[in-house]
Structure 1
Amino acid sequence: MKNDLPVSLAGLSGPAGFLRSSEPLSLSPVPAPATSLLEEAADLLVVHLDFAAALDRCERGCESLASDPDCESSAEVKCSLCIVGIQALAEMNRWREVLSWVLQYYQVPERLPPKILELCILLYSTVKEPHVMLEVDSYWLRDLTNQSLPSYGTLMELHLLHVLLPLGQFVEAEELVQGCDAFNKEQQLEALRTINERRCQWVQQEETQSVPEEQPATAREKLLGSVSRKLLTILTVLRRALGSMSSHFCSSPYKKTLLAALIVCLVVVRLDPAAPTSLPFLYRLVQLCHQAWVAVFSPLYRPPVQD
């Protein structure tokens, strides 16, 4: 399945790209252990492809910066460490842990750096799990401090294209665009046009998927209707046949024939109906006639007894 394959974020462009070992680190003075761990993690990730070791260096680096979280230079190093850690988790097919792993260092979604939030949106969109970022994005976008950031409009657009629209939340997308001050009039019109196009595509896909589901149901109904009609026809013919047989058996000629056969039988075997020795034979003959009668007319049809 697509979600069980290792996810590589190396092709993602933009400010959220991870650090490479060959790129110089333009950072302000920070604690030496954190900087060295960042360089070592980037080297393990890109050159040695040792993702577990790279993740370990990132975690150790973030823990070393916990004593001074508000320092600007420390925040930059921490963000870079998290970006490398996200890439390492994705390469090890542990992308489901990315969001919880990042939040353990930033506690709340509102404090996530724009670079990390962008990377998470693209990651979960790539693995077709955009719903994971729905609540996190909402918290981040509603924060007043984040709304003043230069990258707010970019993240708003990413949230719109990679989270809301794939989930079919078109009404929420329209409300978000109309109430967004980061978009100018032209950008709002373009975003609303994109929403309408995606809504039409969504409706067409639902209609296309519903047609194959209706066809088997119609075929089953036709088959059941055909079987029912055939069964009804067979039962009607059988009822008519049994009725004809009943009329034939109960008719006077048939009774006369049975009486004549009985008389002939008595004459041939020379039995006296009044003699005690003939009673077992007559009793057995009556039983055979009764069994034949029951076998023919029971339980489907039993004609009324005629005197």
Structure 2
Amino acid sequence: MRNDLAAPPAGINGAGGCLRSSEPVSLSPVPTEAASLLEEAVDLLVVHMDFAAALDRCEKGCESLTSDPENEDCDNSAETKCSLCIVGIQALAEMNRWREVLSWLLRYYQIPEHLPPKILELCILLYSKVKEPHVMVEVGRDWLTNLANQSLPMYGSLVDLHLSHVLLPLGKFGEAEELVQGCKTFGKEQQLEALRTVSEKSRQWVQQQEEGQSKPEEQQTTAREKLFSSVSHKVLTLLTVLRRVLGSVAGHVCSIPYKKTLLAAFMLYLVVVRLDPAAPTSLPFLYRLIQLFHQAQAAVFSPRYRPPVQG
């Protein structure tokens, strides 16, 4: 058995380490039942790693203290109750039931303002590690604005913890400034340093928001550029193929003799324009055309044709 709970482990999945309170939890002489249940809970948590059984012992110990009002008002009983709750928080965290921590604590403390400073500290660290600091916004506000809590020795350190782990990560800079300005435990230099930190975090937050808005526009521009590049490549490929086809057709046409091409075009004109060459009005025209064609053929293609020699 262990006689103290200086730093109970808290292996939360994805939390990245153990949760530790800034002050050790010591066991003072207390009623026998609660003390024995606390020792059993610590042994089950640390040695046997039976988290469900450790939580059960913590609940029984808290209920035994709550059922006796005289013991509950005793300082030793309050310290034992706090220790039992810290072990219970660790057990819930080990079982990945950290979402139940606050509701479980309020079964024994009724309202957030009554939570001991060490338990509030552990809750802030817990929900910060699991990336859900918003759970502690109202709880921390209620506790820190309570006049009775502002006289406690840990009040200043809890203000720092609430600022750095809850308000600033959530972008609640107005509330953070009000908390710093209303903290009477801060000296002038400490208050100015805290306000500078809030201002710097606010500037970084605005910059991150602007960068986050510009990234989608940059991604859209890049997508348009990629699409335009792809379309341009396809168009260029199509034009290249078309140029090759036209070049091939032009080469084929140019390979046909010019005179034969002209003659074929002329005959095609006769067939197309003169839709009915057999009509009587077309016969004189065709007859004269045939004569001219034979004369041109005899004059151009006859091997006996020789141009006159000039003397």
Per the TM superposition, whether the score is higher than 0.5 is yes
1:119-268 alignment runs, 5 A limit: 119-220=122-223, 260-261=274-275, 263-264=276-277
Mapped to 2, the partners of 1:150 and 1:105 lie a distance apart of 23
Deviations 1:237-280 (A, max 9, x none): xxxxxxxxxxxxxxxxx99976733x35999xxxxxxxxxxxxx
Amino acid at match of 2:202: R
- C-alpha displacement at 1:152, in angstroms? 1.3
Counterpart among 91, 97, 100 of residue 100 in structure 2: 97
Alignment of 1:10-159 (within 5 A): 10=18, 12-15=20-23, 25-30=26-31, 32-67=32-67, 68=69, 69-159=72-162
Give the CA deviation at 1:183.
Answer: 0.9
Contact (CA 8 Å) 2:19, 2:125: kept in 1 or not? no
Shift in alpha-carbon separation, 1:6–1:167, aligned structure 2, 3 A = closer
Which amino acid in 2 is paired with 1:171?
Answer: G
Q: Distance in 1 between matches of 2:47 and 2:201?
A: 41
Q: Contact (CA 8 Å) 2:144, 2:150: kept in 1 or not? A: yes
In 2, are the aligned partners of 1:174 and 1:192 still within 8 Å (CA)?
A: yes
Q: Residue 108 of structure 1: CA displacement?
A: 0.7
Q: Is the 8 A contact 2:42 2:87 kept in 1?
A: yes
Distance 2:91 2:279 in 1: 107
Number of residue pairs matched by the alignment: 234
Residues 41 and 58, structure 1, Cα contact 8 Å, conserved in 2:
yes
Whether 2:6 is the aligned partner of 1:5: answer no
Residue identity opposite 2:162 in structure 1:
H
Unpaired segments ≥5 residues, structure 2: 1-10, 236-267, 281-311
* C-alpha displacement of 1:93: 1.4
Distance in 1, matches of 2:222 and 2:278, equals 61
With normalisation by structure 1, the TM-score equals 0.67
Displacement after TM superposition at 1:10 (Å): 3.9
Larger Rg: 2
**Structure 2: distance between partners of 1:255 and 1:185:** 106
The Cα of 1:123 is off from its aligned counterpart by 0.8
Relative to structure 1, the CA distance from residue 265 to residue 124 in structure 2 (aligned partners, 3 Å threshold; closer, same or farther) is farther
Per the TM alignment, residue 94 of structure 1 is displaced from its structure 2 partner at its CA by 1.3
Identity %: 62
| Separation of aligned partners in 2, 1:85 and 1:136 | 19
Q: CA deviation at 1:14?
A: 1.2
- Deviation track 1:140-199 (CA, whole Å, cap 9, x = no partner) reads 111111112121111111111111101111121112111221211011011012112222
> What TM-score, normalized by structure 2, do the two folds share?
0.66
Name the stretch that deviates more: 197-206 or 132-141.
197-206
Residues 92, 66 of structure 1: alpha-carbon distance in 2 compared, 3 angstrom cutoff: same
Q: How far did 1:54 drift?
A: 0.6
